[in-house]
A and B are shown apart, each in its own frame.
Chain A
Amino acid sequence: MDADFIAQILFSAIKTGTPLLFIALGEVICEKSGVLNLGQEGMMLMGAVVGFLAAYSTGNMAFGVLAAMAMGCVMSLIFGVLVLHLGANQVATGLALTIFGTGLSAFVGSDFVGKTIQGFNPIPIPYLSSIPYLGKILFEHDLLVYLSFIMTVLIMYVANKTRLGLTLKAVGENPNAANAIGIKVLRVRYLAIMFGGAMTGIAGAYMSLVYTPMWAENMTAGRGWIALALVVFASWRVGRIMLGAYLFGLASIMHLVLQGFGWTISTNLLAMLPYVATVFVMVIISADKFKEKLLAPRSLGKPFDPRHMA
């Protein structure tokens, strides 16, 4: 165990945590507007398969990412219409989205299983990447990781410092009051849902274009769900989401760490670790009911129908 090894581990933790970060950033915006979208896993798989297909057939990575974003938007739009216009239960609709996305992605991608592409290349940032250790950890990544850094800062700024963020918070706390003062609640929620979909699409593309890079059925392995837990863990705060994503990333690559210590444990048991860690975190973070009530968007998961405002 030396400093280089630790730097390598932290570098990998960031890489592994990046898809979680993308999803959680999208979902936190969605949840702040009062909508709980449990369809992340399905949207992510669709993003992964469509991103892979687009990149594979055009050879253009950026096109793959854009296609995955578009796919995420379309998927989330289906969700949006069902929960916002047809008044469907948010939990059930989110589950439907996941089941649909899992099935459809396997169907669409069945001819592409096992094919590989040349993924995004790492781009070391000049000067910054030569900072000892820190450069290795933070500045030798690929474009999408840098994009996730930028998005984190951007979302933190928008959510906390702008009128848009204020509007979002108002809609999530009390949609009826927001409607009464003339905020277009459904429009805000649609946009938030679609933003969430686009971010999840990028996360999917990250899996199939950078992380592996290939397409396999069910390749996201529950990351969509873990990201949902991450949002609760972070108490809907953007900065903590980033930290949490990397911690989960670290839990996912624990086998590397343990190999560093010279321990050998069955990989199948180690594979449970991120899930066990998620359960553990859910327990710790939610135990304080008082705090959760204070921090969670108040109308989260509850339907809002402007036609019923008699």
Chain B
Amino acid sequence: MMRIQARTQPSQLMTLVSPLLAIALTLIFGCILFSALDKNPIEALHVLLIAPLSDGYNVGEMLVKMCPLLLCAVGLSLCYRANMWNIGAEGQLLAGALGGSAVALAFGDSTSALALPLTLLAGVASGIAWSAVPTYLKLRFNSNLILTTIMFNYIAFYLLVWAVNGPLRDPDGYGFPESAMFSDQTMLPILVAGTRIHLGILLSLLSAVVAWFILSKTHLGFQVRVFGSDEPAATYAGFSSKKLSWFVMLLAGALAGLAGVCEVTGPIGQLVPNVSPGYGYSAIIVAYLGRLHPLGAIIAAIFLAVLYMGGDLAQIQMNIPTAVVGMFQGVLLFFLLACDFFIRNRLVFTHQATA
């Protein structure tokens, strides 16, 4: 007979095993699904997970997708650690892309050395602005952060659509809703010739390391952790909830804004309506899968980037809709939440017939 028993201490081991278990279960779910669709499950999983890492070019493309996921997820990890339910990475990313593009386009063909730094700065500033408003509304008016950040995602999207149809539309673009291509001066430098591996990828890895350092080594990071884990204790200790909320929210906004501007000045090279295939939402899963640990987010971001790549390949090679990626992400998060149950509980086997 099996019985569930609460653990006296949460299991450290299970905290790390749980994401792996969740991934394994998601893959099993995938096999069943593909079989049901008359696709060879082994082949499908190969295309989804192995093919994206099969050669140097593909790895480069995978890293390109990892960059925005990681930047957003690092910020979200900090927010969630502080119990700030910021769901607005998507909007902050779009705002960053929009703000950065406006500056990049204003530079036109100028060869100024300031073009790229100012473009990036504009992206970061826009991301910050986009997270600052919901944060202010929460702290000043007590409005629900989850809902306001989500509303700001939609607002950012329509603003961006409006911009590419209006002020930022390429005058020579035959009316397509796209901006002109950016000049080379405003594009991120490529780090490995022959790939699209750009500077932003390095910045994203750096941001994860810095965030880890802040959380584990500084008094500020300690305060963030206390605030998220036990708000009454933080108030009792005299930590300023306002200061900490601003800190994590603005940092998350800055990183998401950076992600956005890196997309338009990196792999895309212009402003288009579909800058992001939902990176800001997927970053929520990355943050969770990485256990809200900035370094864990690196591994999780790579996994999700592989999945994104695989989704594209699966559509081309096996005619499987790319939407399968979104579904897998949701299933993964479900399994993760379910597996986390065993951090706090365990199965015990008993031989007693009755209790």
Contact = CB atoms under 8 A, between A and B. Distances in A.
- Interface secondary structure of B, over-half rule: helix
A282 B147 contact: yes
Q: Which 3 A-B pairs have the closest CB atoms?
A: A100-B330, A103-B326, A106-B323
20 contacts: A42-B330, A86-B340, A88-B341, A93-B337, A96-B337, A98-B330, A99-B282, A100-B329, A102-B330, A103-B327, A107-B323, A107-B324, A107-B327, A110-B323, A232-B144, A272-B155, A272-B159, A279-B137, A282-B137, A285-B143
Contacts of B334: 78, 82, 93, 96, 100
Nearest to B145: A282
Given A86-B337, A282-B137, A100 B327 contact: yes
Interface stretch (B49-57, B99-107, B161-169, B206-214): B161-169
A62 B167 CA distance: 47
A287 B340 CA distance: 36
A268 B327 contact: no
A229 interface: yes
Interface residues of A, number: 51
A13 to B, nearest CB: 20
B113 to A, nearest CB: 35
Nearest to B288: A92
A285 B144 CA distance: 10
B144 A286 contact: yes
A50 to B, nearest CB: 14
B211 to A, nearest CB: 20
Nearest to A36: B146
Contacts of A272: 154-155, 158-159
Contacts of A146: none
Interface in A98-154: 98-104, 106-107, 110
A225 B87 CA distance: 12
Given A100-B334, A269-B162, A229 B6 contact: no
A282 B133 CA distance: 13
B152 A279 contact: yes
Contact of B323 (A95, A103, A276): A103
B247 to A, nearest CB: 21
B344 interface: yes
A278 B328 CA distance: 30
A197 to B, nearest CB: 15
B143 A282 contact: yes
Contact of B344 (A87, A226, A276): A87
Contact of A99 (B150, B165, B285): B285
Q: What is the interface residue range for chain B against chain A?
A: 35 or more
B292 to A, nearest CB: 11
B151 interface: yes
A222 B152 CA distance: 11
Interface of B: 6, 85, 87, 134, 137, 141-144, 146-148, 150-152, 154-155, 158-159, 161-162, 165-166, 281-282, 284-285, 288, 321, 323-331, 333-334, 337-338, 340-341, 344-345
Nearest to B150: A225
Nearest to A281: B143
Given A106-B323, A268-B162, A275 B154 contact: yes
A187 interface: no
A91 interface: yes
Nearest to A104: B327
Q: Which of the listed residues A96, A100, A284 has the most CB atoms from chain B within 10 Å of its own CB?
A: A96
Given A87-B341, A92-B288, A97 B147 contact: no
A86 B341 contact: yes
B308 to A, nearest CB: 12
Nearest to B335: A96
A292 B142 contact: yes
A266 interface: yes
Contacts of A276: 151, 155
B321 A104 contact: no
A99 B151 contact: no
A89 B330 contact: no
B154 A95 contact: no
A271 interface: yes
Contact of B330 (A97, A222, A225, A283): A97
A106 B326 CA distance: 9
A92 to B, nearest CB: 6
Interface in A267-310: 268-269, 271-272, 275-276, 278-279, 282-287, 289, 292, 307-308
Given A82-B338, A96-B330, A279-B137, A103 B325 contact: yes
A106 B277 CA distance: 13
Contacts of B288: 92
B147 A103 contact: no
Contacts of A284: 141
Nearest to B138: A286
A33 B31 CA distance: 38
